[in-house]
Amino acid sequence: MVAALEIVHLHKMFGALKATDDLNLDVVEGELHAVIGPNGAGKTTLISQLSGQAAATSGEIRFFGENIARLSMPQRVRRGIVRSFQITSLCREFSALTNVALAVQARAGHSFRFLRNAQNDSRFTGPAMNALDQVGLAHRADVEAGHLAHGEQRQLELAIALAAEPKLLLLDEPMAGMGADESHRVVDLLRELKRRYTIVLVEHDMDAVFALADRISVLVYGHCIATGTPEEIRRDPAVRNAYLGEDAADAGSP
Amino acid sequence: MLKKLLSLPIKHRLLILAGVAPLALLLAFAPFVFEVLEQPFYLRVASRILVFALAASSLNLVLGFGGMVSLGHAAFVGIGSYVVAILAWHASNEVPLSLGPFVIAGTTDGLVAWPVAILAAMLSACIIGAISLRTSGLYFIMITLAFAQMIYYYAVSLQQYGGDDGMRMRGRSILPGLDLSNRTTFYYFALASLALCLIFLFCLARSRFGLVISGIRQNETRMRALGIEPYPYQLTCFTISGAIAGFAGVLMVNLDSFVSPADLSMARSSELIAMILIGGVGSLWGPLLGAGFYILGQLGLGTLTTYWPLFFGPALIVIVLFARRGLVGLFVPGRS
């Protein structure tokens, strides 16, 4: 088992607030590692530090052995670390297809090509269409992203991340704001994806988390209080005490 | 584009045809029309509209398309004009031009002077862009303005070239096989230049580069999350825009046979922005419509009253408030 991601003594301060407090975590290649915790536990802050959107105050983030904590977001993306956003982040004037095709284009190298029409270049639209199909949005490919329903925008967000062909996929609440049908579809999709990609998943839907995760880490006040298989986490007294409570732990059981 | 046009409802298609067809015909046959009407002055006005449309298009590339609000774009136009005029001045006075260790002869040859002028504008845009694009938002606006003001005062200080009063050019640039001093020839040359520029911008907008630039305007964080560093793309876009602006300046000095610091002033930069706002920000045809409206409006109101800006200003405010997509929005149906 190779550690795809090792987080070592990671700290993130916002003034006097410790958003990430001496966090140690490792993610094994090929696993789906869920990060759960109460609101304000620093889950999104962690994703931001992993993706390079926010700089860590101190500590190391090793990606297949290389310390990437000081690299910019584009540099990390080129190494295969791709995030999706909790709050949808799209190019609203572009069609759904163009949004995804841009991810394929970005992966294909630099974009200093000035004359040829890229909007119907099948090298980009082909894989983009596949990604849209995977998330179940192919029939809405030509609709402007800004005109999609909220749940559809969430699906598009996921399609963009997939099209970037990540080695490590950072998903920040991919199911937030989705209807039940869409959520089921995403759970099915993630089950399909989990052998192909290494995934860090932040999610509030405990049913989904316990159904999907190989391992779960529990964050409280920026600190990791437990890591283990869903079964271990469900039984962990510290976790029950801090976060899950008796009812939630029962809800997650089969 | 044709496919898009055909997919529109018939009412909109007729509306676009009704708007575009007469305009295209007018542009194509303007010299003959004004010949018949014995109004050569208006051919000059038409040429002026085309040249300003070219300058406004260059600004539209960074401002409308790329979302980089440059408040000093007239500087690049002015640099293009000054380089052509200065080279011509040295040619006609038979004084060599010394640039530090280099001494070169002046020239009125367009094949030499024009590329030099365009390169000068392009290089200035590259340097100013390289510094300004380190900032964004309000700071970017202020820094581009500051650079433009520096260039403006530099032009004022050029006593040898007329300083504040500006300088005349004795004749238009000489091109092989084209007599630019003929006003019909000049008009068609300007028309062809604008058409080429618009075709280039049309292709650029759909290219890989264009998608990235437009994406950066819409959502910079998203572009970073795709692995795209915005800076080099924005700088390239700014530099291309500077080159087109320089070319507009080359045509402008040839049209007027005159250039002065006013041509690279902040007032001129704001005029270009006004043209884009009137025509339609970020649209291909916006700068042409805006330049036409602005110059004809200025001319029309100017014959009625010396205080034309008093009426033109409020008209501009009304357009910006109530026709947010500009004149283009009247012809092309908007998004629902």
C-beta separation of A225 from A242 below 8 A: yes
DSSP H helices in B226-265? 230-256
How far is the C-alpha of A50 from the C-alpha of A23, rounded, in Å? 12
Portion 81-100 of A in contact with B at CB < 8 A: 82-83, 85, 89-94, 98
What's the burial of A97, exposed, middle or buried (CB within 10 Å: 0-12/13-18/19+)? buried
B47 Cβ neighbours under 8 A, 6+ residues apart: B183, B186, B187, B190, B255
* CB–CB contact B208 A116 (8 Å): yes
- From the list A51, A91, A121, the residue facing B215 with the nearest CB is A91
pLDDT in the model for residue A1: 61
Has residue B336 been placed in a domain?
A: no
**A-chain residues near B221 (CB < 8 A):** 53, 89
| Count of domains observed in chain B | 1
User: From the CA of B69, how many Å to the nearest CA of chain A?
Assistant: 19
Portion 119-138 of B in contact with A at CB < 8 A: none
| B44: Cα within 13 Å, side-chain hemisphere | 11
pLDDT along chain B (336 residues), means of 10: 58 72 86 88 94 98 95 96 96 88 89 97 98 94 96 95 93 93 95 96 96 96 95 98 98 96 95 94 93 92 87 85 81 55
- Structure tokens belonging to residue A246: 């008796």
Closest chain B residue to A145, measured at CA: B218
pLDDT in tens, A133-144: 998 899 999 999
A69 CA to centre of own chain: 18
- Structure tokens belonging to residue B309: 């800006």
B60 Cβ neighbours under 8 A, 6+ residues apart: B276, B281, B282, B283, B286, B287
pLDDT in the model for residue A82: 95
Q: Does A111 touch chain B (CB under 8 A)?
A: yes
C-beta separation of B148 from B74 below 8 A: yes
* CB–CB contact A74 B219 (8 Å): no
* CB–CB contact A118 B221 (8 Å): no
**B-chain residues near A55 (CB < 8 A):** none
Has residue B173 been placed in a domain?
A: yes
Numbered ranges of CATH 3.40.50.300 in chain A: 1-80+166-254
Instruction: List A204's β-bridge partners, or say none.
Output: none
C-beta separation of B68 from B58 below 8 A: no
Beta strand B97-99 pairing with A223-228? unpaired
How far is the C-alpha of A131 from the C-alpha of B235, rounded, in Å? 32
- Structure tokens belonging to residue B229: 């560093």
pLDDT in the model for residue B185: 95
Portion 161-180 of B in contact with A at CB < 8 A: none
Most A CBs within 10 A among B211, B221, B224, B239, hence the mutation to make, goes to: B211
Q: Does A113 touch chain B (CB under 8 A)?
A: yes
User: In angstroms, what CA-CA distances link B127 with B156, B216, B228?
Assistant: 21, 21, 22
pLDDT in the model for residue A250: 52
Q: Is A1-80+166-254 assigned to CATH 3.40.50.1820?
A: no
Amino acid identity at B269? S
Backbone dihedral region of B94: left (phi > 0), alpha (psi from -120 to 50 degrees) or beta? Answer: left
Has residue B262 been placed in a domain?
A: yes
pLDDT in the model for residue A137: 93
User: From the CA of A240, how many Å to the nearest CA of chain B?
Assistant: 35
C-beta separation of A216 from A34 below 8 A: yes
- From the list B208, B221, B233, the residue facing A89 with the nearest CB is B221
Closest chain B residue to A71, measured at CA: B227
- Structure tokens belonging to residue A121: 């270049």
- Domain containing B270 equals 2-331
pLDDT in the model for residue B5: 56
Backbone dihedral region of B135: left (phi > 0), alpha (psi from -120 to 50 degrees) or beta? Answer: beta
**A-chain residues near B237 (CB < 8 A):** none
Has residue B226 been placed in a domain?
A: yes
How far is the C-alpha of B51 from the C-alpha of B85, rounded, in Å? 17
* CB–CB contact B225 A105 (8 Å): no
**A-chain residues near B236 (CB < 8 A):** 112
B113 Cβ neighbours under 8 A, 6+ residues apart: B83, B84, B87, B88, B107, B173, B250
Portion 223-252 of B in contact with A at CB < 8 A: 223-229, 233, 236
Beta strand A32-36 pairing with A215-220? parallel
CATH of residue B32: 1.10.3470
Helix (H) or strand (E) segment spanning residue B98: strand B97-99
pLDDT in tens, B252-289: 999 999 999 999 999 999 999 999 999 999 999 999 99
Weakly modelled stretches of chain A, pLDDT under 50: 249, 252-254
**B-chain residues near A115 (CB < 8 A):** 203-204, 207
Q: Does A107 touch chain B (CB under 8 A)?
A: yes
